[in-house]
Amino acid sequence: MSTPSSPLASPTSNANRHRRRISLPPWKGAKPIPLAISILIGILFRFAVPKPHQLSTKAWQLLAIFLTTISGLILGPLPVGAWAFLCLTLTVVTKTLTFAAAFAAFTNEVIWLIVASFFFSRGFIKTGLGDRVALCFVSWLGKNTLGLSYGLALSEATISPAIPSTTARAGGIFLPIIKSLAVTADSHPKDDSAKKLGAYLVQSQLQCSSSSSALFLTAAAQNLLCVKLAEGLGVKISSKWLTWFKLSCIPALVSLLATPVILYKIFPPEMKDTPDAPLMARRRLDQMGPIKSDQWVMMIVMLVTVALWISGEALGLASVITAMLGLSLLLAFGILDWDDCLSEKSAWDTLAWFGVLIGMATQLTTLGVVAWMSNAVANFLKSLSLHWFGAFCVLQSAYFFIHYLFASQTAHVAALYSAFLGMCLASKVPALFAALALGYNTNLFGALTHYSSGQAAVYYGAGYVELRDVFKLGIIFALINIVIWGLVGAGWWKILGLY
């Protein structure tokens, strides 16, 4: 029989019961401190910093909200898409923008081209075509560690124009293959054996991915965004795909070929020969069997799509229309089904926050904010008596190394590309030269840190490379790429008459 509660129960037990009654559920909302800092930055800028007479109150208020948005992208009070939507709502609630102006960018062709590109990436991974291409290169070149790294790097460069997400290539194709090769060689993450093979292959692939992404316009989402923002500032780029490739091919290939051997010297693997790697690759290829019908369809559709991207301007066919045709064929042939598209969260997340950032950047340009900032910096550089090339070098360096503050290449572009391009134009830097150099630069800082890009986070998360090595190699290869692109690239562009 239960004993009734005693009126003389101890104060301690009463206090415990009271604490249990008033305990609150764990907070699931925005992180309080990052949220407070992000909002405070916008409020202080809006009300504490004097508004220049050249700008309207609406323009100044939008700039304050934009700074809050970018602060949130860096500090992360909410997931990127959720934070972008919250800030977009703020622009409408405060009547800084009308509903139509706030959502105008969601009809932007570049955004939908990026969304369609994510679906192509899923098709490559779903059909196993990406794995097959990578394994073929490993079987051909993988007899030693250096050859193995070249096989992986060249295979990524081969498929990169058809998979415009470096993160998808890293997580869906190359990291699983690298892990399999490393484990076969008895090289394990977070272990003394990591440097036997895994650490070198992971770091080599990460550093080479910067060159692969810079090589083709459709190799990375941020490339397409750069071109769109450049056009918004009046920079004319004819035959976009071909122009991008023609100017990038020499410096990107030099960097791609130099990276594995330089890394081999300064961050050498303990295992020099990998006789089992080609055997493993051939064994995996044998398990896959002959090329299947869905892989043939995927290959043909992507070859046709890339060919139309190259020749689209001559045919009067926009890149986004080409992407829509390619995606429609993949759906019609059953390579992808609609559930594949619906479950591609990264595509829809990108649509949300890209739309917000492009919309804000466009409105800042329309309201004269970008022109005001550009002229202010250009006048300062002019006061230093810098030639346009000197101003260009200063701005490019600042644009590059400020990426230590960013955890996303696309967020960096949305936040700073228009402003830095505007400063270059105001400093009399040739327009196409400035626009494309900033675009290539955007790819090169993707391996600067373990948080500087999606692919950097994927490769670091594998556990093979220690954090101090990530930072050390990041800055070393940043400087190497600056030298390669500064000498080889600038020389090649001079030959082509770009400046």
- Each domain of the chain, given as residue ranges in start order, spans 128-289+368-496
56: helix, coil or strand? Answer: coil
Q: What is the pLDDT along the chain (499 residues), one digit of tens a residue?
A: 444 544 545 555 555 555 555 566 788 888 999 999 999 999 999 999 999 888 899 999 999 998 898 788 778 899 878 898 999 999 999 999 989 888 887 887 767 877 887 788 788 778 888 788 888 888 888 889 999 999 999 999 998 887 777 887 887 788 888 888 888 788 888 888 999 999 999 999 999 999 999 999 989 888 988 998 898 889 988 888 899 999 999 999 999 999 999 999 999 999 898 888 888 888 888 998 999 999 999 989 988 888 887 777 678 787 788 888 989 999 999 999 999 989 888 778 878 877 887 788 778 878 888 778 777 877 787 788 788 889 899 999 989 988 887 767 877 887 789 889 988 998 899 999 999 999 999 999 999 988 788 888 888 888 899 888 998 999 999 999 999 999 999 899 999 888 7
Beta bridge partners of residue 273, listed in sequence order: 144
Note the pTM of the prediction, 2 decimals: 0.73
Question: If you search the block for the tokens 């990169």, which residue do you land on?
Answer: 160
Report yes or no: 120 and 319 within 8 Å, Cβ to Cβ: no
Tokens encoding 149: 């790294």
Report yes or no: 39 and 70 within 8 Å, Cβ to Cβ: no
Tokens encoding 468: 């101090």
Within 13 Å of residue 157, how many CA atoms lie on the same side as its CB?
A: 24
- CA angle, residues 63, 90, 68, in degrees to nearest 5: 45
Question: If you search the block for the tokens 């572009």, which residue do you land on?
Answer: 413
Angle between helices 175-184 and 276-288 (to 10 degrees): 130
